[in-house]
Amino acid sequence: MIRYLAAYVAAALVMGGLDYFWLTSMMGPLYQRVMGPVMATAPNMKAAIAFYLVYLLGILWFAVRPALASGEWTTALLNGALFGFFAYATYDLTNMATLKAWSLQLTLVDIAWGTALTAAAATAGALAALQLSKV
């Protein structure tokens, strides 16, 4: 259980730090430019926190757990990238299908970001958990 707690914390720190940097640097040039007036003036922090808490559980289940079973951090890297790709593709392609203010550029960039972000968070989680396995 301690391995999963360490994995969760490590993944949360990496995902939180990277996503904070991404969102603060890309909010204006990418998201605000495309979505403009439909964006909230401030994020709904309760919803954002709920997303991260739930998404991190998905990273543990779909990427870290298989990495612990294989003993290889690269399993988390691959599974994390795939989990991120499918999750972000679901979100972005649904938005593209249903929202006027959603562009192909935003879809492609956001899917790429979600893939890389999730791979990095999953890898950090797996490395933390695998390190504890050695102790």
Tens digits of residue pLDDT in 107-123:
999 999 999 999 999 99
pLDDT in tens, 15-56: 999 999 999 898 888 888 888 888 888 889 999 999 999 999
The answer to pTM > 0.85 is yes
Write the burial class of residue 13 (CB in 10 Å: 0-12 exposed, 13-18 middle, 19+ buried).
middle
Three-class DSSP category at 130: helix
Positive or negative, the CA dihedral 56, 38, 23, 83 is positive
